[in-house]
Amino acid sequence: MILVDSSVWIDYFRSGEHTGLLDQYLEEDVIVINDLILAELIPFLQVRKQKQIISLLTSIHNQKLTIAWDQLIAFQYSCLMAGINGIGIPHLIIAQHAIQNNFILYSLDRHFSLIQRVIPALELTQRAIRSDAT
């Protein structure tokens, strides 16, 4: 299964360059989402009255988050010890969620490739990282 991060959805809604791959994953029905990603996306969609997009997102299998705070602290510590600063807790929660559930993470956010350098258990899609994403 593939956990699709908000950066991919935003690119998709803007008809960005990664729409084909996400369309393929949607067609194959291999996508999962979680409440953190929905919380990043839905408020902006509500402001823009994008009910159909909200309906699409909420119809995707939502895998419950189980946050292991000690592990998050260890992840953050490992990143800091490797000189990787600026990794936010939401990024670590998404990475942890992917690892816990053996999901492949599809993101355009470079923070996840930085996390993967320190936490190789995080599996990323091969065509997913854009260097200018934040």
Each residue's pLDDT tens digit, 94-132: 999 999 999 999 999 999 999 999 999 999 996 544 444
Residue 74 lies in a domain: yes
- Tell me which residue range forms the domain holding 8: 2-124
In the structure, what pLDDT confidence band is assigned to residue 17 with cuts at 50, 70 and 90?
confident
Each residue's pLDDT tens digit, 43-57: 999 999 999 999 999
Q: Which residues contact 94 (CB under 8 A, 6 or more apart)?
A: 3, 5, 34, 36, 37, 105, 107, 112
Residue 129 lies in a domain: no
CB atoms within 10 A of CB 86: 9
Residue 73 lies in a domain: yes
CATH number at residue 100: 3.40.50.1010
Residue 130 lies in a domain: no
Domains held by the chain: number = 1
Residue 20 lies in a domain: yes
Residue 132 lies in a domain: no
